[in-house]
């Protein structure tokens, strides 16, 4: 059986804008060691590159909130959870359902997402793009 992180690297690519930006976002949350979540909108630019528009931090434990307009060309919300909470919360699922876009959850050892109807595990295991690129 293929290792999940390797499969992830083959499917999405270690150097993809999405993976690189996700890892940088996780870094802002202490690689999942913090009780404070970091969040961003994943936006596709006109040149088809993905960039993250990070939310301002309001330092609420186990939550991230955004007030304002969603940037044009947003295709997902990406946010961190503490490492012990790898799955999307009920609020994450409700947000995905309400906005009609996936909500991704990042921890040091997993990436999961919800479309509001189901939860998918994208990666189980280490997904550090620097180490992934060396495989």
Q: Report the pLDDT value the prediction gives residue 120, as an integer from 0 to 100.
A: 96
pLDDT digits (tens, 9 = 90+) for 106-124: 999 999 999 999 999 998 9
Q: Report the pLDDT value the prediction gives residue 135, as an integer from 0 to 100.
A: 52
Q: Report the pLDDT value the prediction gives residue 97, as an integer from 0 to 100.
A: 98
Contacts of 19 (CB under 8 A, 6+ apart): 12, 13, 127, 129, 132
Domain ranges of the chain: 4-132
Cα–chain-centroid distance for residue 13? 15
pLDDT digits (tens, 9 = 90+) for 12-71: 677 789 999 999 999 999 999 999 999 999 999 999 999 999 999 877 777 887 999 999
pTM, two decimal places: 0.88
Fold of 4-132: Cytidine Deaminase; domain 2 (3.40.140)
Q: Report the pLDDT value the prediction gives residue 58, as an integer from 0 to 100.
A: 76
Q: Please state, in angstroms and rounded to a whole number, the distance separating the CA atoms of residues 118 and 49.
A: 27
Residues of the chain with pLDDT > 70: what percent? 89
| Res 9 pLDDT > 60 | no
pLDDT digits (tens, 9 = 90+) for 61-103: 778 879 999 999 999 999 999 999 999 999 999 999 999 999 9
Q: Please state, in angstroms and rounded to a whole number, the distance separating the CA atoms of residues 55 and 69.
A: 11
Strands 74-80 and 50-54: unpaired
């Amino acid at each position: 059986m293929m290792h999940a992180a390797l499969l992830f690297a083959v499917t999405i690519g270690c150097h993809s804008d999405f993976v690189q930006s996700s890892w940088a976002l996780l870094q802002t949350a202490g690689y999942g060691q913090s009780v404070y979540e970091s969040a961003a909108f994943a936006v596709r630019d006109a040149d088809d590159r993905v960039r993250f528009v990070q939310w301002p931090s309001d330092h609420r434990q186990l939550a991230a909130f955004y007030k304002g307009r969603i940037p044009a060309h947003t295709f997902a919300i990406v946010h961190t959870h503490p490492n012990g909470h790898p799955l999307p919360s009920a609020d994450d699922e409700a947000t995905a359902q309400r906005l009609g876009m996936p909500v991704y959850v990042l921890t040091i050892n997993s990436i999961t997402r919800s479309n509001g109807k189901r939860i998918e595990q994208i990666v189980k295991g280490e997904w550090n793009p620097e180490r992934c690129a060396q495989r």
